[in-house]
Amino acid sequence: MKIVFLDEASISLKNDMNYSALRDLGELVCFDHSSPDEILERAKDAEVIIVNKVVMPQKVIQGLPNLKHITVIATGYNNIDLDAASMAGVHVSNVRAYARHTVPQNTFAFILNLATRVPDYHQDVLKGQWQRANTFNLLNYSTFELAGKSIGIVGFGAIGQGVARIAEGFGMKILVHDPMLSTAADFPNTALEELFRESDIVSLHCPLTSENRQMINARSLSLMKPSAFLINTARGELVDENALFSALNNEQIAGAGLDVLSEEPPKENPLLGKVKNLILTPHCSWSAFEARQRLVDEVTENIRAFAGGNRRNAVTK
């Protein structure tokens, strides 16, 4: 079968991925990026399409008569018109929990950098402040220990649970909010407003829904402690970015670490301006080598299962 990967550059760094098992399944053709106008021509003979963020609307799906399987090399699949796929008899699959280790790791990279002010001290050293100091050290910033602090985890799937395990290792108190949390879970389900009030760190690990869009807004930020930090490695649209800009610059909260923004790549965004104690990274918390290879391997198994008549990681009926 012919397999076309429409946006391979979204997961590959200097050709570091191993596609050997995927190539064993058929003819693999990879494109770094694909615009909407290029999809039909590039995928016209494909039985299987691999996409990360390329949008597959109804007109594209209907325009590919050979297409049998779309496998999303990610967890989110809102870029696929699932109704159109089902009507066309196209199976859609995704990959789950591939970043269960790397996103918690990066979450704590944010937390530790905010708690210790390592980036700020590094810049001070580069500017020569340590070299000119009158004592052996610099004490320019107030830092704090994580032990005994409360972390509020919003969303308690594989990633949220991974964050909790690391937090336990630091001796932190854990608060959890998740509408799907089992009553038999290790942590009780905390009301969202209580979590905002009680947490020293609020960390978002939930999918975006119509109900939680901009859940971090002027009101929820007003509930948080002035010493609290916000971490978002989930989806940018969970945060009202104008409200966060104001909260940071007015010192309503102490800082934030964001790996996601509402528009990606960003063009105009208040958080790209002058903001107090904000760390931004470019939606890369998921992207450890092992996690990216896990994506490739899982997609390979999805295609192998489909070719054998099985439906693995299906998101269509």
**Nearest CA to 230 among 117, 141, 151, 147?**
151
CB 233 within 8 A of CB 209: no
Candidate list 213, 283, 304, 312, residue with the active-site label: 283
The position carrying tokens 């107030």 is 142
Is 283 assigned a catalytic role? yes
235 among known catalytic residues = yes
- The residue from 38, 193, 251, 264 that is catalytic is 264
SS (H, E, C) the chain: CEEEECCHHHCCCCCCCCCHHHHCCCEEEECCCCCHHHHHHHCCCCCEEEECCCCECHHHHHCCCCCCEEEECCCCCCCECHHHHHHCCCEEECCCCCCCCHHHHHHHHHHHHHHHCHHHHHHHHHCCCCCCCCCCCCCCCCCCCCCCCEEEEECCCHHHHHHHHHHHHCCCEEEEECCCCCCCCCCCECCHHHHHHHCCEEEECCCCCCCCCCCECHHHHHHCCCCCEEEECCCHHHECHHHHHHHHHCCCCCEEEECCCCCCCCCCCHHHCCCCCEEECCCCCCCCHHHHHHHHHHHHHHHHHHHCCCCCCECCC
The β-bridge partners of 34 are: none
- Among residues 205, 235, 292, 294, which one is catalytic? 235
**132 assigned to active site:** no
* Catalytic residue set: 235, 264, 283
